[in-house]
Amino acid sequence: MNLHEQLGALEVGVDQLIQAVVAPQAQNIPETRNANTAQAAAGAEEKAQATVGAATQTQGAAVEAQAETAHNQAAAEPDEPAAKPVEAAALPTLEINRPAQNEITMTIGGQTVALRPEQISQLIEELSNARASMTPEPPPGIPPGWRFVSTKNPVMAVQKQSNGDRLLVMRHTGHGWVPFTFSPDMVIQLYMMLTQR
């Protein structure tokens, strides 16, 4: 299988993972939201009616007019009560297991998906690309207790860019192909760091 076929297979795997996790959640959201909106609107209606009844008994027609105004405002703004959740729903949790050497399972919200090595590589690549644009950035120094797997003597490729920079792509056994771009000054610094005694 060539590289393009492998990438296509990985894309299909990530799409399946996304559909298995996101689609069930997307189906549940509108029903929950509509139920909460209807419940909140019914609660607002009952409150307004209770206010109207109490005002009629105690303070007469003037207070009744105020209650009717409040009722009209509650009916005109049905989203305001819905914005306050009646009960905080528990967020789905992520569970990762490794049932076999070449398989990882991910469970989110009760949905379990088994990932093969090529799907894991695609997931790592997608997550890495997304993480690169997020803030805060990874810490500038190596964090204490950081766990890692290093690749000894990785396969690498170098390409000269039109602006003089060098693209260095190294193959990590866990992360796959990892690209780095170095300016000419950084190439010299890297050479000095690697040849220091």
Dihedral pair phi/psi, residue 62, rounded to 5°:
-65, -45
* Confidence at residue 195, expressed as pLDDT on a 0 to 100 scale: 93
Q: Give yes or no for residue 114 having a pLDDT over 80.
A: yes
Q: Give yes or no for residue 27 having a pLDDT over 80.
A: no
* Confidence at residue 164, expressed as pLDDT on a 0 to 100 scale: 94
Band (pLDDT 50/70/90 cuts) for residue 184 is very high
Average of per-residue pLDDT across 91-119? 92
Check residues 189 and 87 and name the one with the higher pLDDT. Answer: 189
Band (pLDDT 50/70/90 cuts) for residue 51 is very low
User: Which sequence spans correspond to the domains of the chain?
Assistant: 3-83, 150-197
Q: Which pTM value belongs to this model?
A: 0.50
